[in-house]
Amino acid sequence: MALRLNSERSSDATRTKILKGVSSAVSVAGMVFFFVNVVDALVIRGREPLAILTHPSIFVVLLSTALFFSTRFLRYQIGGAIQVAVIFLNGVFILSRTRPGDLSGAVMIVYAMILALRYGFFEQKRGLVSASLIVALFVPAASFASVQSFGTPFNAINTIAMTALMLYLFWIPFAEEIREYRVANKTLTSMVAERTADLKKANEVLAEEVRQQKRTQEELKGLVAEKEVLVREVHHRVKNNLTVINGLLNLQMAKATDPALRSELLATRSRIFAMAFVHDSLYANDNVARVPMSRYVGELMHHIREMHESQVAIDVMFDEFDLGIDRAIPCSIVITECVTNALKHAFDPRDTGRIIITGRHIGDALEITVSDNGRGMDAEAVESRDDNLGVVLIRSLAEQQLRATVELETSEGVTWRFVVPETPSLS
The segment(s) of the chain belonging to CATH 3.30.565.10 are 256-420
Rounded to 10°, the helix 293-307/259-284 angle is: 150
Helix, strand, coil share of the chain (percent; to 5)? 75, 10, 15
- pLDDT score at 3: 41
Residues of the chain with pLDDT under 70: 1-11, 37, 40-55, 57, 76, 95-104, 122-177, 225-226, 228-233, 235-236, 239, 282-286, 288, 378-388, 422-427
- pLDDT score at 150: 46
- pLDDT score at 169: 62
Please list the residues that pair with 322 across neighbouring strands.
Answer: 292
CB 121 within 8 A of CB 112: no
Kindly report, residue by residue over 7-63, the tens digit of the pLDDT.
444 567 777 777 777 777 777 777 777 777 677 666 656 666 666 666 676 777 778
- pLDDT score at 418: 94
Kindly report, residue by residue over 207-231, the tens digit of the pLDDT.
999 999 988 888 888 777 667 666 6
- pLDDT score at 160: 56
pTM of the model: 0.48
d(CA 336, CA 271): 7
**Residue 403, Cβ neighbours under 10 Å: how many?**
12
In words, the CATH class of domain 256-420 is alpha beta
CB 71 within 8 A of CB 19: yes
